[in-house]
A and B are shown apart, each in its own frame.
Chain A
Amino acid sequence: MEDTLQTIQSIPLEHYIWFSTALFIVGVIGVLTRRNAIIILMSVELMLNAVNLLLAAFSVHHGDPSGQVFVFFIMAVAAAEVAVGLAIIVMIYRNTGSVDIDIMNKLKW
């Protein structure tokens, strides 16, 4: 038990902050630079995972299990989001023959 505590505390919380920030930024750049709707959905997943990891790290370092329960809920919402999002992408592909988001600009002002 004492070993586990030392192992957890041997990595400072700042390191988790920098790592999660970097992973989140990679996701943001992916959303901004890609045109394939599926890759954009994957970049959103990257961002969600960065946030999940940071929530879990803070939860463990604070000794508060609520953070890990939140991560569990975020995972449930992400699963629902991916299921509906991919269904929409399949439907768009059936109607336009492409998953390029730049041709779906009918709602753009």
Chain B
Amino acid sequence: MLTQSLFYFLSFLAIFSALAVIIAKNPVHSVLYLILTFFAITGHYILLNAQFLAIVNMIVYAGAIMVLFLFVLMLLNLNAETEPQKPAYIKIAGVVSGGLLLLVLVGALKTVDVSGAGGTTATDMGLVENLGMVLFNEFLLPFELASVLLLTAMVGAVLIGRREA
């Protein structure tokens, strides 16, 4: 079936490019693989018919945030030669810790019963119209606070990034 094969393709693409992000020696390659991961996740949102989130993910993550990362990397002129490396035993310890966390999560989630979640009737919920109704009725105050948060972050970034602080 097309949907399922698309799901598996996007999942493996996302996981392998995420692995490439943390394995790549050159930080610029890491950012490029991260963009690929974000595009795969955008595909997942489209599969879920969450069109608003797909577009926002594409614009905010793959567009704005990744440009910021790439800009800083190129501003600092980082490359594979200047890349600091942890000693091998720390890397092995990190991978083992991550694997143990995976084991715990898989063990815990295996017993979870999600069969009660099949009651979907509204498939057009992820469209801008419906999300906008929820966002501006129920979540109006958090939405306004988010704008204050972004203003604070902008002021903070400018203040920290100034040469003579």
Task: Please state if B122 and A63 are interface contacts (CB–CB under 8 Å).
Answer: yes
Task: Please state if B48 and A60 are interface contacts (CB–CB under 8 Å).
Answer: yes
A2-41 residues with Cβ-Cβ distance < 8 A to B are: 4-5, 7-11, 13-15, 17-19, 21-30, 32-36, 38-39, 41
Given contacts A32-B97, A46-B37, contact A100 B48 (CB under 8 A): no
Closest chain B residue, CB of each to CB of A85: B157
The residues of B that contact A91 with a CB separation of less than 8 Å are: 160-161, 165
Task: Please state if A65 and B114 are interface contacts (CB–CB under 8 Å).
Answer: no
Report Cα–Cα, A18/B15, bound state, in Å: 11
The residues of B that contact A8 with a CB separation of less than 8 Å are: 47-49, 120, 123
- Please classify the interface of chain A as helix (H, G, I), strand (E, B), loop, or mixed, using the class held by over half of its residues: helix
Task: Please state if B68 and A83 are interface contacts (CB–CB under 8 Å).
Answer: yes
Min CB gap A58→B, angstroms: 7
Min CB gap A81→B, angstroms: 8
The residues of A that contact B19 with a CB separation of less than 8 Å are: 26
Contact of A17 among B97, B109, B119, B161 (CB under 8 A): B109
- Please list 9 pairs of residues, one from A and one from B, whose beta carbons are closer than 8 Å in the complex, sorted by A's number: A7-B3, A11-B7, A29-B22, A36-B78, A68-B52, A71-B53, A79-B153, A82-B69, A91-B160
